[in-house]
Amino acid sequence: MREIVFDTETTGLDPRTGDRMVEIGCIEMVNLVPTGETFHAYFNPERDMPAAAEAVHGLSAAFLSDKPLFRDGVSALLDFLGDSPLVAHNAGFDFGFLNAELALCALDPLGTDRMVDTVALARKRHPGAKLSLDALCTRYGIDRSHRVKHGALLDAELLAQVYVELRGGRQIGLELAAEAALGIDTGTGTDDQRSAFNLGPSQRSERRAPRPHVPSAEEMVRHRAFIEQMENALWST
């Protein structure tokens, strides 16, 4: 099944008061395995950047001033999202901003029936525990040492790993599932296909022809001779 894990960065907390989305990062997953396909974009919010927001993600108004407007990149974003389920951490926040931007473009909102909230999944699995992305990365041993500030694509990559753990973790035979998701025969597939799933190079082995299950006449004779050599066999008493 295809799913999109995504994260956004914004100018604040509430699109109803004029806050805008300034960055989005998306990770494509098939059967809980990243395919290597991503979507990432910055957007000019056409407004100032509050100091408190800039301290979180490091995106200044000057940096965003030459970036495209959301309406200029929305078609590519919607093409990438397709009709797949959308996974986000505290998903109501990200859906709220994304749908607010779509409304400004006179486009239909994304249905909340597509929303998968990892906070809700984590609350059910770990009641009473801390549910921040950082806390869940620590719980599951996911390396976030390179995360100095929030970034939409980086956070989506971390969240994709957390999501796999919340859904049960990586199981033995995951590589086979990844290959099946791509339609690749076990041990085959192009290097590009395998590297997208971190499967390593294919190792082809020469396969033997299937052995017939019915013994040959010669094998029956040899078997009978072997049986006759046995002394005090139970079946002969």
> How is residue 49 written in tokens?
């950047």
> How is residue 136 written in tokens?
């869940």
Distance CA(177)–CA(30), nearest Å, equals: 10
Predicted local confidence at residue 177, as pLDDT = 52
Please state, as a whole number, how many other Cβ atoms lie within 10 Å of the Cβ of residue 196. Answer: 19
143: left (phi over 0), alpha (psi -120 to 50) or beta: beta
Residue 113 annotated as binding site: no
Predicted local confidence at residue 237, as pLDDT = 55
90: left (phi over 0), alpha (psi -120 to 50) or beta: left
Are the CB atoms for 120 and 89 separated by under 8 Å?
no
Residue 9 annotated as binding site: yes
Predicted local confidence at residue 186, as pLDDT = 43
- Specify the residue for token string 């997208």: 196
Class of domain 2-170: alpha beta
Distance CA(158)–CA(139), nearest Å, equals: 13
Residue 7 annotated as binding site: yes
Longest CA–CA span in the chain (Å) reads 98
Residues in the chain where the model's pLDDT stays below 70? 147-149, 170-213, 234-237
Which sequence positions are flagged as catalytic?
A: 150
212 φ/ψ angles, rounded to the nearest 5 degrees: -65, 145
3-state DSSP assignment of residue 144: coil
Predicted local confidence at residue 180, as pLDDT = 52
